[in-house]
Structure 1
Amino acid sequence: MLVTRSLGSKIVIQLVVTLMALPFLLPLVAMVQGSLGGRGLGNYVKVWETGVLPTYLLNSVLISVFAILIVYACTMLAAFGFSKLRIAGKEIWFWALLLALTMPEAVLLTPLFVTASTFDMYNQLVAVILPVAALQIPFTTLLARNFYDGIPSEIMDAARVDGANIWQVFWRVVLPLTRPIAAAIVVLTLIAAWNAYLLPMLMLNDPGRQVLTLLPSYFVSQYTNDQTGVLAAAVIAAVPMLVAYLALQKYFERGLAAGALK
């Protein structure tokens, strides 16, 4: 970690960081100000009075929770195998997995829609959960594998000498050491699942199945365009994510740094 001691260096770094943050902060400030236009806090009451907020919130929570569970389980197992196990052709499979990072979500919408319709998953939350999780696994596996590479193999060898099988080594020895990278995986998946927009808009046509990111569209139709309602709904959708990130920020940054370096 770099440490600056001179006052001039600290001022310069603070100015640079502030200038970098402004393009991200200004839209947020404008969104909050716009949400308070006209009726003020009454705009948030208006969003609540639609009656759909609890349903949308519950659906977003369910999608996020199940996506996190799937990504965590698949990532930890895959990264352990790629890093610590002797598997024939594992580097080929690893790079094939990383090729999925080059696929933009928009390109996959049509085949995902056809697949969901074929397997009768359209208008079901699972039609969003599985693609969101699948799109996160390549990157989280890359991070987790780098983290696993930093765990000494001697720890595993000692456990095997004591009579532990490979599953016990993974569950009782290796997995407890992965908490920093696990926090990064949870936050990254939470952000992706909570902010998903294209997939829910395509897959969830039933109003009872829609998610919080689609709440602003509730105030826009062919004959209405309530921008204060749109902005208030956007603020409500952003608040849980902001709280979750602030709560896990320390672990997220530590895990991301550990997973990015060998």
Structure 2
Amino acid sequence: MFETRSLRGRLVLQIVTTLLVLPFVFPLIAMVEGSLAGTGWNNYVTVLSIPLLPEFFRNSAIIATGVIIIVCACSMLAAFGFSKLHIRGREIYFWTLLAALTLPEVVLLTPLFATATSMGAYDTFWSVILPLAALQIPFTVLLARNFMDGIPSELIEAARVDGASTWRTFQDVVLPLTRPIAAAIVILTLITSWNAYLLPLVFLQDPASQTVTLVPQFFIGQFNNDQTKVLAAAVVTAIPEIVAYLCLQRLFERGLAAGALK
């Protein structure tokens, strides 16, 4: 974190921060402005009048919740083992896990499709939840481990001296201290799972089980391409992510600062 006490230093830091933010703000402004073009607010009325829209939001919420639960549970447990437990060859396992970061989602489509079909999971939420969670875990484990490295090992040793088991130490000592990084993982996982497009498109064929990211398809067809309503749909589907970020903003920033920059 950058800190400065002089007025000149704060002014320079504010200008630099503003310039860094502008490239990300302009596309958002253009998206909102484009969604109000043409018929204006009627674009949003048309999007909100889609009969299956509530089911799309429900499906996305189910998928996102499932992914968040799996990712948080696996990430915290794995990070605790990699950071605080004496496991033979743990660095080999850790770097092998990080190697999975190099695997793009599109390369895994064929084996995932074959696996989902053979297990009877095709066209179910599990065919989307499990791959999305698996793709997120390597990065979230990296963040969580860096955060847990900052937790004093003396706390772990004190708990063991008091007779606490490894699980009790994790549950009562380590886990309460990891709320900032847990919030960061929740937000990052929510954004990824909520915005997932390729996996729901391939594995969810029933219209009643599709997600909000597929809503713009209602306004794009062979004889129709209404970009104003596509942008309105993008704005509507982004609202839950914005609300979640605003609710967990402080913990998210603290978690990323400690987990990513340590």
TM-score band w.r.t. shorter chain: over 0.9
Does the C-alpha gap of structure 1 residues 11 and 162 become closer, same or farther in structure 2, counting only changes over 3 Å? closer
Q: Does the alignment pair 1:220 with 2:196?
A: no
**2:169 paired residue number:** 169
**1:202 paired residue number:** 202
Q: Does the alignment pair 1:112 with 2:112?
A: yes
Residue type at the aligned position of 2:241: M
CA contact 1:67–1:133 (8 Å) conserved in 2 = yes
Residue type at the aligned position of 1:76: M
**1:70 paired residue number:** 70
**2:238 paired residue number:** 238
**Alignment deviations for residues 133-153 of structure 1 (CA, whole Å, 9 cap, x no partner):** 111100111111111111112
CA contact 1:47–1:232 (8 Å) conserved in 2 = yes
Residue type at the aligned position of 1:188: L
User: Matches of 2:230 and 2:14 in 1, distance apart?
Assistant: 34
User: Matches of 1:28 and 1:150 in 2, distance apart?
Assistant: 36
Residue type at the aligned position of 1:143: L
Structure 1: stretches of 5+ with no match in the other structure = none
SS at match of 2:184: helix
**Alignment deviations for residues 103-159 of structure 1 (CA, whole Å, 9 cap, x no partner):** 111211222122111211111111111111111100111111111111112212211
User: Matches of 1:16 and 1:235 in 2, distance apart?
Assistant: 28
User: Matches of 2:158 and 2:17 in 1, distance apart?
Assistant: 46
SS at match of 1:222: coil
TM-score (norm 1): 0.95
Aligned pairs for 1:28-39 within 5 A: 28-39=28-39
1:33 Cα deviation after fit: 1.1
Does the C-alpha gap of structure 1 residues 14 and 152 become closer, same or farther in structure 2, counting only changes over 3 Å? closer
**2:146 paired residue number:** 146
1:10 Cα deviation after fit: 3.2
1:185 Cα deviation after fit: 0.8
Aligned pairs for 1:22-171 within 5 A: 22-171=22-171
1:209 Cα deviation after fit: 0.9
User: Matches of 2:25 and 2:118 in 1, distance apart?
Assistant: 43
Does the C-alpha gap of structure 1 residues 207 and 166 become closer, same or farther in structure 2, counting only changes over 3 Å? same
SS at match of 1:223: coil
1:261 Cα deviation after fit: 4.2
Does the C-alpha gap of structure 1 residues 5 and 151 become closer, same or farther in structure 2, counting only changes over 3 Å? closer
State which drifts further: 224-233 or 8-17: 8-17
User: Matches of 1:261 and 1:168 in 2, distance apart?
Assistant: 29
Residue type at the aligned position of 1:42: N
User: Matches of 1:179 and 1:28 in 2, distance apart?
Assistant: 30
SS at match of 1:129: helix
User: Matches of 1:261 and 1:234 in 2, distance apart?
Assistant: 32
Percent sequence identity is 63
User: Matches of 1:25 and 1:58 in 2, distance apart?
Assistant: 29
**Alignment deviations for residues 16-53 of structure 1 (CA, whole Å, 9 cap, x no partner):** 22222222111111111111122211111111222121
User: Matches of 1:156 and 1:12 in 2, distance apart?
Assistant: 43
Does the C-alpha gap of structure 1 residues 221 and 91 become closer, same or farther in structure 2, counting only changes over 3 Å? same
**Alignment deviations for residues 214-259 of structure 1 (CA, whole Å, 9 cap, x no partner):** 1111111112112121111111011111111122111111001111
